[in-house]
Structure formats: structure tokens, C-alpha cells
A and B are shown apart, each in its own frame.
Chain A
Amino acid sequence: MMKYLPHTDRDREAMLKTIGVKSVDELFSDIPAQVRFNRALDLPRPLSDPELARHMGELASRNRSLDGLTCFLGGGVYDHFVPSVVEHIVSRSEFYTAYTPYQAEASQGVLQSIYEYQTLICELTGMDVSQASMYDGASAAAEAGLICAATLGRGRIVVPASLHPEYRQTIKTYAWAHDLEVAEVPFGPQGTADLSRLEAALGPEPACLIVQHPNFFGALEPVEEMGRLVHARGGLLVAACDPISLGVLKPPAAYGADIALGEGQPLGIRLSFGGPYLGFFATSEKLVRRMPGRIAGATLDHQGRRGFVLALQTREQHIRREKATSNICSNEALCALAATVYLCALGRRGIVKLAGLCLQKAHYARDQVARLERFKPAFDAPFFREFAVRSTLPWERVESGLLQQGQAVGPSLGRFYPELKDCFLLAFTEKRTREEIDYLVGRMEGLI
């Protein structure tokens, strides 16, 4: 326990003498007796490193990690390969033991990498400006909703039911606190937003429409039409996207998105049971001063050398306090660094090829699943890397039956959509081989 605490008793004594007190307790004498804690904390005894390593190893071994499973799990986060360079760079302690880069001259590494990250996100999404990172895709979507409402002075946020259920729940929580209304648009038989119901949901004065593309079921939404409809009513279009899909899909700026955001986990960030992940967030030029969080900018030092600083800080909580555009302070900087290294490793050809692999494998798998008797693709809309499967077997039996064979599939859609209780998702990355897909389909066929 003492290895993180450098003082010897001799040090402590000498320091107390400098301070002019007899004991450390004197330094706490301003804490009133009635709020002093007068027993030891009821926590387990300290563990030595070997004990700690054994204990944590035991906990880890009580999990069935994807190392021993074939992962077809989707739902917004995916089992991509993380190149070794990513882990090595984010393990540089100059990066991971740094604070937010308030002192620019001592933080050029972090600041320049944020500037590079912002550029990469702009290239990927086609948007004008990116900020430095949000907590995750869901909270980024919720903050986007608040920003649109505040920008336009409107109170209605519209979301298709095909938007990730956890994003919708997050948006609703934030909107509730703000007395904003969240209107849902049902999905049609294709598994995409029902355009015939969209106009009614938008109403005359929507703040924004937050559309996920591809959506929670993996399907492509009619984003151009949706964008036209919300813009025609003076509202803003917010697009939530899978960053890998942008290797082949039209960037959000090209279909008129005012804000593009998403879950950055696929960009070299490990699944880690749900976090830490990365919310990316980019806007058109006109919304730059509404942007939440940190932004890095390039400037010059007094000798004319290029350097980087935190820019437009007057938007932020540490200056603007109650008038800030968001309360976000700590964000996901190290995850953004991972995404930066990942995207730079991929390069412009790599991202296209990677997206192509996901797309091809998912389509191959869909064709195989379509041939099964008790399983059918649930929807017909074009999709990217993930699709919903409808089964005549109860979900519990599908999940556990496949798990016994080392196959992880899901999530089940029934947990979010009662009307889809016989459906679940299958998702594909570059890691899944034809052999694995054939094996999965074979095991599905064999389920009883």
C-alpha cells in the first residue's frame, strides 16, 4: 500500500515542523466533530500486487470473453480488430497521464493529435467542424437535441423508433430535464422510418430530426427525403452514423446534415463491456459556436512557429459557466487518440476496403440465413453490416443454444421492441470469416 505514498515518518515529521503543527490531525481541526467519521471504512483489507493480480484475474476469468467466442453481436458497437499500434500509442504515458491541455506549451502532443482527430472526423463526415470528443454516441445525440432546441428556440425533438433504443432513452432523459418534447416516428415494414407518418411527427416547428443511418436494425434510412422534410419546416437534421460505414456511404454533409455524430467505438476502441467509448460530433460552420466541449485550433507562437491551443473556449463551462453550450469537461480524449491512430493507420484506401469487407460479409451471411427454414431476414431495406433476423424459435433458446456452440449473437430486439420479440441482430466485421459465418448458419439450422 505504501508504494504510492512516498513519505517516511521522518518526512512527515519534518513537514509538520515546517507547517508549525504537531500532528496531521491538527490540519483537520476545522472539520466539526459531528461530521467527522469516527471508525475505519468498512472495506476489504489492502491487497499486495500479487494478490491483486490474482483476484482481478479470477474476476476476469468469470467472464466469457470474445476470445473464446465468435462474435456476431451488434447494436451500435462491434468486434473489430484493434491494430497493435493503437494500444502502443495510447499506452505512452505522456498521453495517458496528461490532463486536459490547459497549458498549451506543455501539451502540444495532445493538442496536435486533437487537431488531427478533428480533421479526420471532418473528412469522414464531410462536415465543416468537429470538436474533440463526447462521452459516447448516445449522449452526443442527446446534446445535439438540446443544441438544436436552443439554437432555434423550439421545443420538439423528433426521432424514428429505428434510432438506437439507448440513444432514444438518453435523448428522452435530457429532454425531460429541459421540458422538451420527444416525438417518435414508427418504422414501416422495411425496418426504416415510416415517411408517411414523419410529417405528422415533425409538426410545424420541429427543432430537429435525429436519424440513425444505418439505423439500429442495420438498414439505410431514406435520409435525403427525411432531411428535406425537416429542413422544409425550418428544423435541423442530425445524423448518427457508424463511422466505418462512411468508407462507402455518402457522408452526412452530402445529404444535408447540420450535425453528424456517432459512436466512435468501431475506430480502434475495445468493447470493454460498454465503455469507455467515444462520441464524435461535427457540425456545419454555422453551428460552430454552439458546439459542446473542447476544440483545438492551430495558431502561431511569437516566433511564427505553428502551434495548437484550445480554441473558442468562451463556449465552455470553465469560462461561460451557466451560459456555456454544454457542461462537458472531461471527455474521452484518449479514446479519440485511439480513433486518430486507427484512422491514420487505415488511410483512405483502408477505410474503403474495411467498409467493403463488412458489407460483403454481412450480405453473404444474409443470403445464407435467407435459406434457413426457421430463420428469415426480418426486413428488406438495403443495409450495411448488420441485419435483423426473425426466428420461429424463442430468443432464449436461440441465444443459449448458439452460445453453447461458441456463437454470440444479438441483441434480441424483443428487449427494446415488444412487437419484434421474435427478432435479433447479426453484425459483421472484417474479423468474421466465411468459415465462421457458414458455421454459425449451420448451428442455427441445427437448433431445436
Chain B
Amino acid sequence: MYPEDLKYTKTHEWIRLEGNRGRVGLTHYAQDQLGDIVFVELPAVGKVVKQGETFGVVESVKAASDCYAPLSGKVVEVNSRLTDEPATINQDCYGQGWMMVLEVSDPSEVGKLMDAARYQEYLKEVGH
């Protein structure tokens, strides 16, 4: 449920680093808590975000949840498929359900993220 090759945030995003780029999405836990995702708001390509800043919104019927950038960087790609098929996040949150690709500006920030084991411990600590 929590792939080893990803880094995780306390706000339940993941990032997969590929060179100076990172693909970003929501964790299994996040999509499970939200339930059926009905709408996704993605950032504009070219937008510059700081670590911890909101970059988008995912909505279920009765909740809207901000998504926070795991690392600082520039948005170079977004998954426009989610606009028409938001449920992709529920079905495949680490694959087809990715949200954006960042050109990472400060690789040292990775140190603030969790690995899979630490993230799962964190989930236990917050009571789930």
C-alpha cells in the first residue's frame, strides 16, 4: 500500500524522484479517507510552488481537501486525465492517478520527507 521508492509527507502526498524531477500524488490513506473523489483541481503548468504550499484540491461529495507540495519547484506537467476521471486517484493512486510533475528546485528538502516505513509508523501515531 505504501511503495518503498516513494517519499511521503505528513499531509499524505507522495513524490517519486526521477533525476531533478518528481512525480506527485496522493497516498492510499488519503484517497481512502476522502472516499469517492469527484473533482480534482490541478495547478497551471509553470506555477512555482514552495514546499508545504497548496498546489491543488481534491474533492469528495462532502469534503474538499487541499494538496500540499512535497518539495519546492516548478510544475512542468499535470495529469489532465484527472479532470474528466477523478476516480483514477481512487483506483490507482500511485500510477495513473498521479497529479503533477515538479522540477525540483531544492533537493535538500527531501530530508524533511518520510520513507515508506516512517510514513506507516506516522499513520499509526495519528491513530489510524
Residues of A within 8 A of B (CB): 289, 313-314, 319-320, 323
Contact = CB atoms under 8 A, between A and B. Distances in A.
A interface SS class: helix
Nearest to B65: A314
Contacts of B59: 314
B126 interface: no
Contacts of A323: 64
* List of 8 A-B pairs having minimum Cβ-Cβ separation, nearest first: A314-B64, A314-B59, A320-B64, A319-B62, A319-B64, A319-B63, A313-B62, A314-B63
Interface string B4-22: 0000000000000000000
Nearest to A315: B64
A314 B59 CA distance: 7
B39 interface: yes
B61 interface: yes
Interface in B31-63: 39, 59-63
15 contacts: A289-B39, A313-B61, A313-B62, A314-B39, A314-B59, A314-B60, A314-B61, A314-B62, A314-B63, A314-B64, A319-B62, A319-B63, A319-B64, A320-B64, A323-B64
A357 to B, nearest CB: 45
Contacts of A313: 61-62
Contacts of B64: 314, 319-320, 323
A289 B39 CA distance: 10
A358 to B, nearest CB: 42
Chain B CB within 10 Å, residue with most, of A289, A314, A319 = A314
Contacts of B60: 314
A313 B63 CA distance: 9
Nearest to A324: B64
A301 to B, nearest CB: 15
A129 to B, nearest CB: 15
A290 to B, nearest CB: 12
Given A314-B59, A314-B62, 12 more contacts: A289-B39, A313-B61, A313-B62, A314-B39, A314-B60, A314-B61, A314-B63, A314-B64, A319-B62, A319-B63, A319-B64, A320-B64
Interface string B58-83: 01111110000000000000000000
A224 to B, nearest CB: 31
Nearest to A309: B61
Contacts of B39: 289, 314
Nearest to A321: B64
A202 B39 CA distance: 35
Contacts of B61: 313-314
A313 B59 CA distance: 10
B85 to A, nearest CB: 17
A319 B62 CA distance: 7
Nearest to B59: A314
A112 B4 CA distance: 50
